[in-house]
A and B are shown apart, each in its own frame.
Chain A
Amino acid sequence: MAKLILKNGEEFEGVTFGYEGSVGGEVVFATGMTGYPEALTDPSFAGQILILTYPLIGNYGVPKKKFWESGKLQISGLIVSDYIDTPSHHQSKMTLSEWLKKEKIPALEIKDTRYITQYLRENGTMLGKIINGKDTPFFDPNVLNIVEQVSIKKILKEKPEGLNKHKRVIIIDCGAKNNIKRCFLKRGVETITVPWDFDPFSNEGQKQLKNVIANEVKQSLSIKIAASPLAPRDDNLFDALFISNGPGDPKKADKTIEVIKKSLENKIPTLGICLGNQLLALAAGGDTYKLKYGHRSQNQPCIMEKSNRCFITTQNHGFAISDVPVGFDKWFTNANDDSIEGIIHSKLPFMSVQFHPEATPGPKDTEWIFDFFLEKLT
């Protein structure tokens, strides 16, 4: 019988429906009710054993790769209450079980996922392991720099099809979800995705940038648009810097923090999402801390400061901002636990949010953040 074992000894028996191997990781729960293909391919989940609190999972199978949030399954393991092996959807290409087996991800059906969730809520996220046959040690993704592992290895350019002149944003990939790129491309902005430690301000970096900009590359995401509301770019190398979401402890991504510092010095418009939000805060002199059990859901209410507007957001993070850096203001606050959900500079175009305006999975209520940011580009 397969089981899930938590660091402090709790054991839960389950029935395997994924890859029949053992794996260790950080055990977390997420309460979203739809969008498992998007969630499971979100690099922010790297190193984690994910418990989905919604019991019926697998209902609409697995769509084509182009609908995923990254090229592969990112979770270390999956726990659900009632795995559904009879998907029904016109986009479905395979069952969830087939997918997990193909990509060697262990998964268990454990009936009382609600109990495990309550347990983690009371005792905080903890390490755990799925045991299928032979044992394996516990593994803490937060001790090593997991961002390095999920980050892209070489620079990648993507153009919005149907435009020849356009703005250009550099996406520092700490584990970026595809829909972030889609959100830029849809708005007529070219994206250049670079590794987590790439320095676009160094001479070496500038050289490589000029290179990819010069060369035509085949598109991985194809997004055609008619026209862009944004004025075409003048001729500096790029117009904005974007810091993506990603897994683990922000303080581990020291090199990225250095790059962001330069960007702020050069007054480059800068936007951060999720991990990017924490990194911006650290680069600007703020601080971060680890939440007891994090926010992983699609129903987090965030109130915009100095307004009575509240937005329902998707979230997926274990760390958060504790101190707002000088020169910045709080932008959003979580209505449930008052944690900081975003910061914005009082004068300059520097801003970041802890939630996911690109959604997928989850509500599209805050996609306007991209428009708001791009308006700041001159």
Chain B
Amino acid sequence: MKKIKKVLILGSGALKIGEAGEFDYSGSQAIKALKEEGIRIVLVNPNIATIQTSKELADEVYFLPVTPAFVEKVIKKERPQGLLLSFGGQTALNCGIALHKSGILKKYNIEILGTPVSAIILTEDRSKFAKHLHKLNIPTPRSLAATNIDQAVKIAGQIGFPAMIRAGFALGGQGSGVAYNMTELKKIVSHAFAFAPQVLIEQYLHHYKEIEYEVVRDKFDNCVTVCNMENMDPLGIHTGDSIVVAPSQTLNNEEYHELRRASIEIVRSLGIVGECNVQFALNPKPKETVIARSETTKQPLKRSPRFARDDKGNLEYYVIEVNARLSRSSALASKATGYPLAYIAAKLGLGYSLTELKNKVTGVTKASFEPALDYIVVKIPRFDMDKFKGAIDKLGSSMKSVGEVMGIGRTFEEGYQKAIRMLDQDFEGAVNDEMFKSKDLIIETLKNPTPKRMFAVSSALKNKMNTSEVYKLSGIDPWFLSRIKNITDHETELQKLANNVIPAKAGIQEKNGSPIRSGMTGLLSKPHLLELKQLGFSDKRIGELVGKIGLEVRAIRKKLNILPSVLQIDTLAAEFPSQTNYLYMTYNATHNDVAPAGNSAVIVLGSGPYHIGSSVEFDWCSVNTVQSLKRYNKKSIIINCNPETVSTDYDISDKLYFEELTFERIADIYEFENPDGIIVSVGGQTPNNRAKSLFKYGAKILGTSPENIDRAEDRSKFSSLLDKLQIKQPAWNAFSTLEKAEEFAAKVGYPVLIRPSYVLSGSAMNICNDKVDLEKYLEEAATISKEYPVTVSKFFQKSQEIELDSVAQEGEVKAAIISEHVEYAGVHSGDATIVLPVQNVSLDIQKDIKDIGKRLAEELQITGPYNIQFLVLDNEVYIIEVNLRASRTFPFIAKVTGINMISMFVDGLFGKKVMGVEMPKIKFVAVKVAQFSFARLIGSNPALGVEMASTGEVACFGRDLEEAYLKGIIATGDRLPTKGIFISLGGEQKKLDFLKTAKKISGLGLPLFATEKTAIFLKKNGIKAKTLYKIHENKSPNIIDYFRAKKIDLVINIVDQGIKKEVQDDYHIGRAAIENNIVLFTKVKTTSLFIDA
């Protein structure tokens, strides 16, 4: 094997729908694999929140956009001999292909390690690839490529409806969809062409099973399939949005192994070296004889006698697609089986053979084997639809989920109910009695699934619909439906029992009496309670069904000595002894594979599923905590349930519980391990929310005391605390009637910010500009009542937002870093563009802010990380909120300033007195820019607001603000305008604010377009702009035509919340821009910054 000394690895950039944390996992694994070989690693990845960009891993990290231009610069400087491009998702792949095609790689003679680029290119071109498969006698769905709409229409004529449209060279099913008639077809196709040069019109395989295989191949042609997975949702719902189980449950031996054989044949034919994902459609009820026809030759695909069906029964399958790289599915497969896929793939890329590599998990067996599971995993995606105003929540072939969880059990019911709780959306299990009241709604949801479909299924089965009816509507295999029915049956039975044994009233009395009552234990006999736990019911849910609280059921359970077992994930079903630290809990066992760790250990609560507001940054914090614990010889125990994370890797912690972050499960683990304590402040809000209940239960929480956490989180307690400390805060109050709310709003003056405690539709927080607004909102969107009060706060317009990130030890501040938002307050801190070091915050203000931080640390006796958000208006500092936990900005700060506040926190826990550090003088500027995924979410409103909507972030560096920002913007996918710029300015005020920038724009010498009003305004100020009519005016020249004709590649659409009607138009303009893949700005300040740059 020839020696390679330096390798370039391309990352995937910001987290976005379809390309999320899984690539931090695969990248980090690859880096470790190469480091072991003493290879120097150069990494290009602007995603500053990732673990792979920490200095412990890569030797050189470039926070630059993963685009050919920038990567070439890096190549020129670093001169690597090898390139790994299959560990950074589609972004890295596309960039690598571009570098290959433009001859850059040849020029600097760089070798692409692993799978040959030719194979990658082939798999990316759907029609070429189909031809390739037909040569192997492997069928694909009937399908033809079109490069323009007319062509598409003709093809649809031939193939018929329903037809599936998919865009080539796009990830996450972007731009694809199903058309049931010509008009729908035209709509989807034109949308798709905005993203891709070519679309495929394809026969839509209604309610087929969707099956995936993860194949690994070495250069000696050895192949193993690490895992196969079955989607519970039928074909048609993107695998990323589907509930998925591993291994497959409804495939018999012939189906399992014929698909396996086909996967391997495909992988060999492509010469893959490393990892590859193959997706199949499988007919659940194949016809007697199956003739798959080749699109190219129109001839039936003959099968060689070797694969004669007659002796094995019919089998009808098609290949959906192949990903010749690490993918979301391979990350899942890796966590599902314990097989370190990305690590192995990287080694194979260096030329190792599978037989040379050890199975890291067992330590005794080889990597050239196929894991045997003795458990089932259930993956469920996490959606955040209501975070996107107006987004359509129907699931389809284009991915919409923002994260995922994986439940492990020894019955399907156990894994499934675990996973549902892991979503951390207040679901207690498979059944949710409130969600679906009407049968029509149930049927509608079964027919056209949404993220809530699980509960439609359970409601249907609980309310006298049988499995075959539900199957017909939903296409979910009866096998799964029967399992879910098993759950609902047990619920019904338990409810009946409860009503007989304890009369309704008694239930309430017992709440404040001792939990163990004859009636109660009689109701829940040991075998019965055990059975319920084996089916994955939570104590809380059992309580709900019998009129108890969870803690009472827990007490009974422990009295009856019903406790979960701790089992290892050892990759070969206990056939060989293994040292693995990868654990889960189940009630379907009677022994423990491992011994308790004892008080030398510390439990670290991870982040749970990625979702809007909680992303890879908190995984960085968790992993850093674990690493710091090593310094104090503390054993680390991670609890997390998110398969996309690095913290759940087999080689990070001393013990890994792939488990629920619910009170019940954390307490189970705490009681089994009895560790020194629990760290709740590094995994984001979810662990933070557990602090109170765990503390009440008697668990030891390390760091700031939960009482003080509560004083900061409870709004009224917090206010009185601020009053005591004489710290200002925007006027606010909580109201249970509309009148009172209006009174208050009138007093403090509009606009006001509303935070209802119960939301009916849309987003929780909202800005109301006047009385009408307020009434409308509180009628349509939210409830106002005694038990659901609404907090109203004065909304500060045009005020600066500033953040303070700190760490303290016993109330003493050890580090305090101030960063600044580019946007005015009103853009959520998670969406805002954040600048470090601060550029225009006066020293006095900085002093005030630090001082407030100091006083709060003292008052709340903070030990650990905390984050404060401030508003600055006319040189007055107001406080928005305090989070007594690590914030989103911690990795950003660590990498910009070198101050790792997580490791300082751990020092603060176990070390002696920690030395304080000051913000160092740095000569460059770092900017953190949010990544949005609006394009995926049909209908969602791209205008930013007080609710966070971004899915990820990047950070870039520059000599000045402009340079850094420009890099950041490019890294999030925006391009510089080269064709034309469209401007629409809402409201007089905004127009004036924008004038300075507008002048600059006209200087760019690009054709300008504007709405009628704006054009007039610009003309007045000596700027020429062609008038275009708004979409709804449907007069030409119309905006939409220019968009479609690609005459415009930058849209500046400044919304004035003041005027409702305009907001409507703005929404349409914004969507149109997004759907035509055009750069969009909606804030005066970012726009001017962009133009300056």
- Interface positions of A (Cβ within 8 A of B): 29, 31-35, 37-38, 53-56, 59-60, 63, 66-67, 81-82, 84, 86-91, 111-115, 117-118, 121, 182, 186-187, 221-226, 297-301, 303, 308-310, 312, 335-336, 359-365, 367
Q: Which segment, of B253-261, B656-664, B752-760, B1035-1043, faces chain A?
A: B253-261
Once bound together, how far apart are the Cα atoms of A299 and B478, in whole Å?
A: 29
- Given contacts A55-B374, A226-B305, A361-B253, are A114 and B567 in contact (CB under 8 A)? yes
Contact assessment for A90 and B375 in the assembled complex, using a CB-CB cutoff below 8 Å: no
A182 contacts across to B, CB distance below 8 A: 311
Out of A38, A299, A360, which one reaches B369, CB within 8 Å? A299
B251 contacts across to A, CB distance below 8 A: 34, 60
Distance (Å) between the CB of A270 and the closest chain B CB? 23
Contact assessment for A299 and B371 in the assembled complex, using a CB-CB cutoff below 8 Å: yes
Residues 365 to 415 of chain B near chain A (Cβ within 8 Å):
365-366, 368-376, 410-412
Distance (Å) between the CB of A108 and the closest chain B CB? 14
- Given contacts A303-B355, A308-B353, A363-B257, are A88 and B374 in contact (CB under 8 A)? no
B486 contacts across to A, CB distance below 8 A: 86
* 11 further contact pairs, Cβ within 8 A, besides A81-B588, A298-B370: A35-B256, A53-B372, A53-B374, A55-B410, A56-B249, A56-B411, A115-B591, A297-B575, A299-B369, A309-B221, A336-B364
Name 10 interchain pairs, CB-CB below 8 A, sorted by A: A31-B374, A34-B257, A55-B411, A59-B479, A117-B575, A121-B576, A298-B370, A301-B366, A336-B366, A364-B257
B600 at the interface (CB under 8 A from A): no
Contact assessment for A89 and B252 in the assembled complex, using a CB-CB cutoff below 8 Å: yes
Out of B306, B311, B589, which one reaches A112, CB within 8 Å? B589
Contact assessment for A335 and B369 in the assembled complex, using a CB-CB cutoff below 8 Å: yes
Contact assessment for A55 and B375 in the assembled complex, using a CB-CB cutoff below 8 Å: yes
The 10 A-B residue pairs whose C-beta atoms are closest, nearest first, are: A35-B253, A86-B482, A88-B479, A53-B573, A31-B372, A299-B370, A31-B573, A88-B478, A112-B590, A310-B368
Residues 460 to 484 of chain B near chain A (Cβ within 8 Å):
477-479, 482-483
Q: What residue in chain A is nearest B249 (Cβ atoms)?
A: A59
Q: What residue in chain A is nearest B467 (Cβ atoms)?
A: A86
Q: What residue in chain A is nearest B365 (Cβ atoms)?
A: A336
Contact assessment for B369 and A114 in the assembled complex, using a CB-CB cutoff below 8 Å: no
Out of B222, B313, B478, which one reaches A91, CB within 8 Å? B313
B69 at the interface (CB under 8 A from A): no
Contact assessment for B369 and A56 in the assembled complex, using a CB-CB cutoff below 8 Å: no
Q: Output the residue of B365, B410, B486, B575 with the most chain A CB within 10 A.
A: B575
B354 contacts across to A, CB distance below 8 A: 310
Q: Output the residue of B373, B374, B411, B478 with the most chain A CB within 10 A.
A: B374
B312 at the interface (CB under 8 A from A): yes
Q: Output the residue of A81, A182, A359, A362 with the most chain B CB within 10 A.
A: A81
Once bound together, how far apart are the Cα atoms of A18 and B250, in whole Å?
A: 21
Q: What residue in chain B is nearest A185 (Cβ atoms)?
A: B311
B 28-49 binary contact with A (CB < 8 Å = 1; else 0): 0000000000000000000000
Interface of A is mostly: loop
Once bound together, how far apart are the Cα atoms of A251 and B411, in whole Å?
A: 42
Distance (Å) between the CB of A132 and the closest chain B CB? 19
Q: What residue in chain B is nearest A61 (Cβ atoms)?
A: B252
Distance (Å) between the CB of B304 and the closest chain A CB? 10
B310 at the interface (CB under 8 A from A): yes
Out of B306, B310, B590, which one reaches A111, CB within 8 Å? B590
Contact assessment for B257 and A53 in the assembled complex, using a CB-CB cutoff below 8 Å: no
Contact assessment for B257 and A31 in the assembled complex, using a CB-CB cutoff below 8 Å: no
Contact assessment for B374 and A54 in the assembled complex, using a CB-CB cutoff below 8 Å: yes
Out of B248, B250, B353, which one reaches A88, CB within 8 Å? B250
- Given contacts A56-B412, A121-B574, A186-B306, are A90 and B285 in contact (CB under 8 A)? yes
Out of B253, B257, B366, B410, which one reaches A81, CB within 8 Å? B410
Contact assessment for A32 and B372 in the assembled complex, using a CB-CB cutoff below 8 Å: yes
Once bound together, how far apart are the Cα atoms of A60 and B257, in whole Å?
A: 15
Once bound together, how far apart are the Cα atoms of A166 and B590, in whole Å?
A: 57
B249 contacts across to A, CB distance below 8 A: 56, 59
A82 contacts across to B, CB distance below 8 A: 410-411, 588
B247 contacts across to A, CB distance below 8 A: 33-34, 54
Contact assessment for A31 and B260 in the assembled complex, using a CB-CB cutoff below 8 Å: no
Contact assessment for A186 and B305 in the assembled complex, using a CB-CB cutoff below 8 Å: yes
- Given contacts A82-B411, A186-B308, A223-B308, are A60 and B375 in contact (CB under 8 A)? no
Interface residues on B, range: 35 or more
Once bound together, how far apart are the Cα atoms of A221 and B374, in whole Å?
A: 35
Out of B310, B373, B374, B479, which one reaches A86, CB within 8 Å? B479
- Given contacts A310-B355, A335-B368, are A225 and B308 in contact (CB under 8 A)? yes
Once bound together, how far apart are the Cα atoms of A40 and B978, in whole Å?
A: 69
B577 at the interface (CB under 8 A from A): yes
Contact assessment for B576 and A336 in the assembled complex, using a CB-CB cutoff below 8 Å: yes
Once bound together, how far apart are the Cα atoms of A56 and B371, in whole Å?
A: 16
Once bound together, how far apart are the Cα atoms of A364 and B368, in whole Å?
A: 16
Contact assessment for B374 and A114 in the assembled complex, using a CB-CB cutoff below 8 Å: yes
- Given contacts A67-B312, A336-B366, are A360 and B253 in contact (CB under 8 A)? yes
Contact assessment for A34 and B253 in the assembled complex, using a CB-CB cutoff below 8 Å: yes
Distance (Å) between the CB of B169 and the closest chain A CB? 34
Q: What residue in chain B is nearest A33 (Cβ atoms)?
A: B247
- Given contacts A81-B588, A87-B479, A308-B222, are A59 and B366 in contact (CB under 8 A)? no
Distance (Å) between the CB of B583 and the closest chain A CB? 13
B572 at the interface (CB under 8 A from A): yes
A224 contacts across to B, CB distance below 8 A: 308, 310
Distance (Å) between the CB of B52 and the closest chain A CB? 31
Distance (Å) between the CB of A120 and the closest chain B CB? 9
Q: What residue in chain A is nearest B283 (Cβ atoms)?
A: A90
Residues 219 to 269 of chain B near chain A (Cβ within 8 Å):
220-224, 247-254, 256-258, 260-261, 264
B534 at the interface (CB under 8 A from A): yes
B576 contacts across to A, CB distance below 8 A: 121, 336
Q: What residue in chain A is nearest B471 (Cβ atoms)?
A: A88
B372 contacts across to A, CB distance below 8 A: 31-33, 53-54, 297-299
Distance (Å) between the CB of B368 and the closest chain A CB? 4
Contact assessment for B311 and A54 in the assembled complex, using a CB-CB cutoff below 8 Å: no
Residues 150 to 194 of chain B near chain A (Cβ within 8 Å):
none
Distance (Å) between the CB of B358 and the closest chain A CB? 11
Contact assessment for B589 and A359 in the assembled complex, using a CB-CB cutoff below 8 Å: no
- Given contacts A55-B375, A86-B479, are A115 and B590 in contact (CB under 8 A)? yes
B575 contacts across to A, CB distance below 8 A: 29, 31, 53, 117, 121, 297
B573 contacts across to A, CB distance below 8 A: 31, 53-54, 114, 117, 297
B596 at the interface (CB under 8 A from A): no
Q: What residue in chain B is nearest A90 (Cβ atoms)?
A: B285
Once bound together, how far apart are the Cα atoms of A166 and B22, in whole Å?
A: 55
Distance (Å) between the CB of B722 and the closest chain A CB? 55
Contact assessment for B574 and A117 in the assembled complex, using a CB-CB cutoff below 8 Å: yes
Q: What residue in chain B is nearest A228 (Cβ atoms)?
A: B305
B916 at the interface (CB under 8 A from A): no
Contact assessment for B220 and A33 in the assembled complex, using a CB-CB cutoff below 8 Å: no
Contact assessment for B252 and A60 in the assembled complex, using a CB-CB cutoff below 8 Å: yes
Contact assessment for A367 and B374 in the assembled complex, using a CB-CB cutoff below 8 Å: no
Once bound together, how far apart are the Cα atoms of A90 and B255, in whole Å?
A: 12
A67 contacts across to B, CB distance below 8 A: 254, 312-313
Q: What residue in chain A is nearest B591 (Cβ atoms)?
A: A115
Distance (Å) between the CB of A176 and the closest chain B CB? 15
Q: What residue in chain A is nearest B221 (Cβ atoms)?
A: A309
B898 at the interface (CB under 8 A from A): no
B103 at the interface (CB under 8 A from A): no
Once bound together, how far apart are the Cα atoms of A223 and B305, in whole Å?
A: 10
Contact assessment for A301 and B355 in the assembled complex, using a CB-CB cutoff below 8 Å: yes
Q: Output the residue of A37, A59, A117 with the most chain B CB within 10 A.
A: A59
A117 contacts across to B, CB distance below 8 A: 374, 573-575
